[in-house]
Structure 1
Amino acid sequence: MQGLNHELNIVYKYLRKQRISHEDAQDLVQETAYKYLLYQDSIQPQKVRSWLIRVSLNLFYDQFRKNKRVHIGLAEENFMELSKDLPDQIVLDYENKKEITLILDTLRPVYKEALLLKYKWDFSIEDIAALLDMKKGTVKTYLFRAREQFAKAYRRFYYERS
């Protein structure tokens, strides 16, 4: 059960990084845990984390489509914890986070998700493939295209600002 709690904590953090509200993320984790308990015998141990995240995201998408009550907000309550530097650095970190979020939001959702899984959550290509139900080659292609589009959007963003 300790291992499950650890994995569910990772799922919660992942959902929050996807800008799902605290309350909705907690509800989704609880529903995900329930589904895990129902189907745990059929889940391969090495794929538990990807299964939990995929189920939680599917629950989120279903909930959003059904009643549109989900609140998506910028997860900024933790940005102060991320930087113990000078106040100037805290402000710069916050501004950079906002800019990166804006740029990521211009990408196709699958590209954004692949980039976040790879670089924010340090998922392997194999884990991303399992989570997104894709072949490894497809994930590599998506990551390549996502990096290209992100770089292009980043350059455009800063060109427009100057």
Structure 2
Amino acid sequence: MNNSDDLRSLNSELNIVYRYLRKLKITHEDAEDIVQETAYKFLQYYDSIRTKKIRSWLIRVALNFHYDQTRKNSRIKLDLREDQVKTLSKDLPEEILLSHEHWSEIEYILSKLKPTYRELLLLKYIWEFKYDEIAEILDLKANNIKTSLFRARKEFAKLYKEVYR
């Protein structure tokens, strides 16, 4: 990567990653840190990146770094009342995910899911991305996203019933 056009192209892609992170409600400072780390990893592994979809690769690296940092910096606190558990157990997974008042319970269940399922549920129900947008981010087909989301919802519901019954 010694061409100035390549550097301009990388800068353009990193700006898109930054805007994407801000759309996810990540603070300006954190988004800048994530983009800087992403650029570093890109330059470090440039020769071994095999995908032609550099934007997808950059977004994937940025999201993984963000999730790692969030996981390191957060603690899960369970503070459930009996009436909350009864109310929530009647809801569908989509309704549970959309209910921000029960976020600590949701975070706990999400932490128990496979990372792929957790990411799909967050992208779809918290950040409200469309199937084709998720497919582009994860570099998968939209049909695969639909199938995986179905499985993720099913697993979420199963874990939720196990924990909160």
TM-score between both structures, scaled by the size of structure 1: 0.55
Residue 21 of structure 2: aligned partner: 11
Residue 73 of structure 2: aligned partner: 72
Q: Distance in 2 between matches of 1:151 and 1:73?
A: 23
Residue 60 of structure 2: aligned partner: 54
Q: Distance in 1 between matches of 2:135 and 2:16?
A: 22
SS in 1 for 2:112: coil
SS in 2 for 1:114: helix
Residue 129 of structure 1: aligned partner: 135
Alpha-carbon shift at residue 114 of structure 1 (Å): 0.6
Distance 1:126 1:95, change over 3 A: closer
Alpha-carbon shift at residue 156 of structure 1 (Å): 1.6
Q: Residues 8 and 33 of structure 1 are in contact (CA less than 8 Å); yes or no, is this contact kept in structure 2? A: no
Alpha-carbon shift at residue 131 of structure 1 (Å): 1.1
Counterparts in 2 of 1:1-150, with a 5 A limit? Answer: 8-12=18-22, 14=24, 16=26, 25-32=31-38, 53-57=59-63, 60=65, 71-74=72-75, 96-150=102-156
Distance 1:32 1:12, change over 3 A: farther
Mark the structure with the bigger radius of gyration: 2
Alpha-carbon shift at residue 118 of structure 1 (Å): 0.6
Once the two structures are superposed, residues 14-61 of structure 1 have per-residue CA deviations (whole angstroms, 9 ceiling, x without a partner) of 485xxxx997654113344786xxxxxxx99xx96x665324135x28
Farther off after superposition, 24-33 or 139-148: 24-33
Distance 1:25 1:73, change over 3 A: farther
Q: Distance in 2 between matches of 1:71 and 1:118?
A: 23
Cα RMSD (Å) = 4.2
Q: How many residues align?
A: 124
Alpha-carbon shift at residue 13 of structure 1 (Å): 6.2
The unaligned stretches of length 5 or more in structure 1 are 36-42, 76-92
User: What is the letter of the counterpart of residue 71 of structure 1?
Assistant: K
User: What is the letter of the counterpart of residue 159 of structure 2?
Assistant: A
Alpha-carbon shift at residue 132 of structure 1 (Å): 1.1
Q: 1:151 aligns with which of 135, 146, 157?
A: 157
Alpha-carbon shift at residue 152 of structure 1 (Å): 1.3
Q: Residues 129 and 139 of structure 1 are in contact (CA less than 8 Å); yes or no, is this contact kept in structure 2? A: yes
Q: Percent identity?
A: 47
